[in-house]
Amino acid sequence: MRGMVKTSSVAEMTAELELNYKRLIDVLRQALVCSRNVNLSQLIAYIKLVSTGPADRFAILVLCSLFGFGVNESAAGEIKPPQKISNAYCNVPTYVLPKVTGHARAALQPNGQPVIHLDAGKSSDTAYARFLLAHECCHHTRRHLQQLQEHRKRGVLLMLSRLNWRLELDADCCAAAILREKNDHKALQSAHRVMSAYGAGPTGPRYPGGSVRASIIKKCGGLR
């Protein structure tokens, strides 16, 4: 019918709200790095690095002010910059942050520069962290973020959930294939074990169930 507005299902709208809530929690955690005497130029550089868009940057800056940040260019305080780590699976700059929803994420900076964030609780030398890094690299090399951005611009919310579901499985298969080629059986087995623990339940907002992801990792990684 002409003039009707397309709406998403209740489940998809709930998933969208949950995802936005988790992004808000991430913003709050990043804002907590601020202290009263932080150098302004260092703060701006930090915000540009950890945020994924103008809304996040503005939110972090406002929250820093609320937490007592003093805008003083000559202040003596410092923000400890995120630790940059090597990534064996792609040339995308990779950083360790205090807390990242989902343990790791692929993101695009405002200038389009790809970046990967890894949760500090997941050391880069652990088997599961290697899978996470390969998985996020695949999101970039297969241009998943650009596909999601295009759907958001077009306002196709109903299809966004399905697309995200499909892209996660694609990144899982891509990462498993990379690890298989590198004979990294420990990383494959660790990823399979983590996903299997979720059972049929989703592994995150708009994410496939754990058993489905475990099956894809097993197939693409050549696990027996």
Q: What is the pLDDT of residues 116-125, one digit of tens each?
A: 999 988 876 6
Share of the chain above pLDDT 70, in %: 61
Distance in angstroms (rounded) separating the CA atoms of residues 162 and 204: 13
Looking at 1-106, list the stretches that DSSP marks H as alpha helix, in order from N- to C-terminal side.
10-31, 40-50, 54-66
Q: What is the pTM of this model?
A: 0.68
Instruction: Give the residue among 160, 188, 184 at the shortest CA–CA distance from 173.
Output: 188
